[in-house]
Amino acid sequence: MTIMIPTWVDGTLTPVEKLEAHQRGLRHKAVSVFVLKGDEVLVQRRAMGKYHTPGLWANTCCTHPEWNETPLDCAQRRLDEELGIKGLSPVHRDTIEYRADVGKGLIEHEVVDLFTAEAPSDLVVSPNPDEVMDTRWMTFRELNQAVANFPNRFTPWLRIYLDEHSAKIFDDVSA
C-alpha cells in the first residue's frame, strides 16, 4: 500500500510517498503523542519489520498524517492502530521542526505536532505486532536516565524531544 504524506516540495504542500520523502530528506508533516499516567510516560519499542529504526524505543506513538487528515485525527487513529488505545483526548502542546538521520540513507525532516494524552490507571494497551514489539511505562527521570546511558537504544527523534523540547511536552511532569 502506498502511503502519501503531506510534504513541502518547492514551498508547496504536496502529497509525496512516505518512503520517497525519507529518501530525499524532504520536509514533511508528522505527529507525535506522549501518553502520560501521573509521572510516567508510555514508550514503545518499534517492530523489527519497520523500514527505519527497527527495534529502537520511541515515544508512545509517532507517525505521519494522511493527506487532508488533521493532526488530532491522526494522533487518535495511530494510537488505536499501533497500540489499540481508544478513548483518550490528546492535547496539542506545540509544533516543532527537526531533521535527523535515521539510518539506511533515510532522513526524517519533520514538522511535528506534539500531543500529550492523560491515561486512566486502567488503560488497556494492545500493541499491533506489525508496529510495536514492546511497551513500557517509565517515569520521566527513568526515561532520561536510560537515554543518557544507552542513547543508541532510542530513536533520534525521542532523543531530540527530550533534549530540546521536554518542557513543551512534559511541563509539570518533569519537575
CA distance 166 to 47: 25
φ, ψ dihedrals at 12, nearest 5°: -115, 135
- The three-state secondary structure class of 77 is helix
Could you read off the pLDDT tens digit of each residue along the chain, which spans 175 residues? Answer: 678 888 888 888 899 999 999 999 999 999 999 999 999 999 999 999 999 999 999 999 999 999 899 999 999 999 999 999 999 999 999 999 999 999 999 999 999 999 999 999 999 999 999 999 999 999 999 999 999 999 999 999 999 999 999 998 887 554 4
Burial class, 9, CB count within 10 angstroms (exposed 0-12 / middle 13-18 / buried 19+): middle
> What's the pLDDT at 3?
81
* Catalytic entry in 61, 74, 108, 110: 110
* Catalytic entry in 62, 74, 82, 108: 62
> What's the pLDDT at 175?
41
Domain ranges for the chain: 4-165
Burial class, 168, CB count within 10 angstroms (exposed 0-12 / middle 13-18 / buried 19+): middle
Query: What grid cell was written down for 41?
Result: 510516560
Q: Which CATH number is 4-165's, of 3.90.79.10, 3.30.70.120, 1.10.10.10, 3.40.50.300?
A: 3.90.79.10
Give catalytic status of residue 62 as yes or no: yes
> What's the pLDDT at 1?
63
> What's the pLDDT at 174?
45
